[in-house]
C-alpha cells in the first residue's frame, strides 16, 4: 500500500501524519518548538526549529513505502536568506504586529483600490510585504544581504529537497502576488522596490516541487487555510468551510477571482489549479473562550450565561464574514465545520442557527496536515487531481441543523450585535 505524508508547519509545532490512499489516518505525531517575543507585539521563530521538528517527525513516522509528501504551513511569515541560502535573522511571523506604519505607506503608494485589485487584499501587518518594508527601514544591514525570500513551509521544502519554490495559495498571502493572474505582480514589486529575483518560482499546489534524497515527490503544498479546506472537502463552490479554532474563519471556493473592494475579505488562489477562494477571518474565536476560561471571576457570576455569550458572539462574527462572501456571489447551502470548537455540539448548533445553515463535520479532523497529504497524493500520481483526492478521502460524519426555535432569537440578536459592535470601537482607542 502506498502511504502519503502530510506535514503542517504550524505556529507552535510541526504536525505530521500518514494517510492511506483511501483517506484513513494511519499515524500522526507532533513536534513542538518555541516562538519569541523580543518586544511587545513582535513574534519571531528560528526557521531551523521548523526543519529540526519536521525531520524528527518524519523519522519517527518511519514510513517504508512512502509515495508522496505534501506540505502546509503558517502563512505570511518572512524568512530571508543570503546568497548561500543561510538564514539572516529569525523569521517574522504572521501574528507579528510591528508593521502598522509600513502598511499605511504601502496603501498610500499603490492606493487601496489598486492594491486590492492586484493582490485581492489590503495591507495588513500579518502579510509578508510590510515585513520586508520594515526590514529595509529598521535593519538595513540585514536587508542589503537578502538574496532569497521564503515562507515557513517553503523553507522546510528547501531543506528537504534543495528546491526554492512556493505555491500559489501561500504566494497570495505575501501582498506581492497578482492573485487573479497567479504570478508575482511586477507593478507591486516595482512600487515597493523589491527585486523579483528574490522570490521563488510559483507552482500550483498539487504539482511536484522537488523530491527527497530518496526520490519521494514533494508537492508544492498550500497555506494552512487552503489545505485545511481541502481536508474537509471544500475543493469547489458548494460546501463552505467554518473553522472554530483559535481564530474563526469562513472560507468559500470561487470559480473566478473576486475581491471585496474595501478589503474586508481575503481573496487568494485556492489549492486547486485555476481556482480561487475568499475568506473572512476573526482573530479570536476559541481564543475568546480560552480567555474567558482563564479570567478570575467570582462565584457570584453566572458562568453559564457568560460562556454562552462568548459562543454567540463568535457566531455573530462568523455571520459577518458569511454575509460579505454572499456579496461576492457565494451562495451558501451547507458548511463544513472544523477546529477545536467543532467538538462542542452546543457551539456547532449555535453557529448553525446564527448562520441559518446546516453544518457538517468530517470523519477526519486533522486539518491542514490532512489536506497536505492529499496534495502529496496528487503529486505522486495516487490521485488524478485534487477533486479525485477529495472525493475519495473526505467523508462526512454527521450533520447539525439550525435549531428552529433559536433562529428568530438569533436574527434579532444579530441586529443588536451589528449596532453595538461599531458603537464600541471608539472605546478601544481610549
Residue 8 bears catalytic tag: no
Give 360-375 as a DSSP string. Answer: EEES---THHHHHHHH
- Label residues 99-108 b or e (16+ Cβ within 10 Å = b): beebbebbbe
Determine the Cα–Cα distance for residues 174 and 180; give it in Å rounded to an integer: 14
What are the distances in angstroms from CA 58 to CA 5, 16, 18, 24, 26?
Answer: 9, 7, 10, 18, 14
Tell me, what DSSP letter sits at residue 87?
A: B
Which cell numbers in the block locate residue 360? 457538517
List the one residue out of 111, 127, 137, 6 whose CA is nearest residue 77. Answer: 127
Exactly one of 49, 96, 154, 224 is catalytic; name it.
224
- Label residues 179-211 b or e (16+ Cβ within 10 Å = b): bbebebbeebbebbebeeebbbebbbbbbbbbb
- Label residues 268-288 b or e (16+ Cβ within 10 Å = b): bbbbbbebbbbbbbbebbbbb
Determine the Cα–Cα distance for residues 33 and 42; give it in Å rounded to an integer: 17
Which cell numbers in the block locate residue 320? 459577518
Determine the Cα–Cα distance for residues 393 and 390; give it in Å rounded to an integer: 5
Tell me, what DSSP letter sits at residue 401?
A: P
Q: What are 337's strand-pairing partners?
A: 242
Q: Provide the 3-class DSSP secondary structure of residue 88.
A: coil
Q: Which residues are catalytic?
A: 224
Amino acid at each position: 500500500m502506498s502511504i502519503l505524508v502530510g506535514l503542517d508547519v504550524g505556529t507552535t509545532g510541526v504536525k505530521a501524519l500518514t494517510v492511506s490512499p483511501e483517506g484513513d489516518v494511519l499515524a500522526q505525531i507532533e513536534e513542538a518548538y518555541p516562538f519569541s517575543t523580543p518586544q511587545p507585539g513582535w513574534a519571531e521563530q528560528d526557521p531551523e526549529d521548523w526543519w529540526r521538528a519536521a525531520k524528527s517527525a518524519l523519522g519517527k513516522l518511519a514510513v517504508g513505502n512512502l509515495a508522496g509528501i505534501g506540505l502546509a504551513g503558517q502563512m505570511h511569515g518572512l524568512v530571508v536568506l543570503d546568497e548561500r541560502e543561510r538564514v539572516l535573522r529569525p523569521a517574522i511571523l504572521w501574528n507579528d504586529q510591528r508593521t502598522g506604519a509600513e502598511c499605511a505607506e504601502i496603501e498610500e503608494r499603490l492606493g487601496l483600490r489598486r492594491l486590492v485589485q492586484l493582490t485581492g487584499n489590503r495591507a495588513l501587518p500579518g502579510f509578508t510585504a510590510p515585513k520586508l518594508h520594515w526590514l529595509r527601514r529598521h535593519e538595513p544591514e540585514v536587508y542589503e544581504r537578502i538574496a532569497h525570500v521564503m515562507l515557513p513551509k517553503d523553507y522546510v521544502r528547501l531543506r528537504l529537497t534543495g528546491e526554492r519554490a512556493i505555491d500559489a495559495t501561500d504566494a497570495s498571502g505575501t501582498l506581492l502576488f497578482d492573485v487573479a493572474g497567479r504570478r508575482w505582480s511586477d507593478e507591486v514589486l516595482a512600487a515597493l522596490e523589491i527585486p523579483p529575483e528574490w522570490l521563488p518560482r510559483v507552482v500550483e499546489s498539487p504539482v511536484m516541487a522537488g523530491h527527497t534524497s530518496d526520490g519521494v515527490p514533494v508537492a508544492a503544498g498550500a497555506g494552512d487555510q487552503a489545505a485545511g479546506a481541502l481536508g474537509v472537502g471544500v475543493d469547489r463552490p458548494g460546501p463552505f468551510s467554518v473553522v472554530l479554532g483559535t481564530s474563526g474563519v469562513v472560507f468559500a471556493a470561487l470559480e473566478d477571482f473576486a475581491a471585496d473592494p474595501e478589503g474586508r475579505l481575503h481573496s487568494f488562489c485556492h489549492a486547486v489549479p485555476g481556482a480561487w477562494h475568499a475568506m473572512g477571518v476573526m482573530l479570536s474565536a476559541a481564543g475568546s473562550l480560552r480567555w474567558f476560561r482563564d479570567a478570575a471571576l467570582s462565584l457570584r457570576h453566572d458562568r453559564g450565561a457568560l460562556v454562552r455569550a462568548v459562543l454567540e458572539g463568535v457566531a455573530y462574527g462568523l455571520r459577518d464574514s458569511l454575509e460579505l462572501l454572499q456579496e461576492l456571489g457565494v451562495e451558501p447551502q451547507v458548511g463544513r465545520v472544523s477546529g477545536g470548537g467543532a467538538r462542542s455540539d452546543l457551539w456547532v448548533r449555535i453557529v448553525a442557527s446564527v448562520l441559518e445553515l446546516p453544518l457538517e463535520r468530517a470523519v477526519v479532523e486533522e486539518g491542514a496536515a490532512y489536506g497536505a497529504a492529499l496534495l502529496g497524493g496528487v503529486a505522486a500520481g495516487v490521485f488524478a487531481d485534487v477533486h479525485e483526492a477529495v472525493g475519495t478521502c473526505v467523508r462526512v460524519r454527521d450533520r447539525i441543523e439550525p435549531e428552529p426555535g433559536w433562529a428568530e432569537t438569533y436574527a434579532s440578536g444579530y441586529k443588536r450585535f451589528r449596532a453595538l459592535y461599531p458603537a464600541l470601537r471608539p472605546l478601544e482607542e481610549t
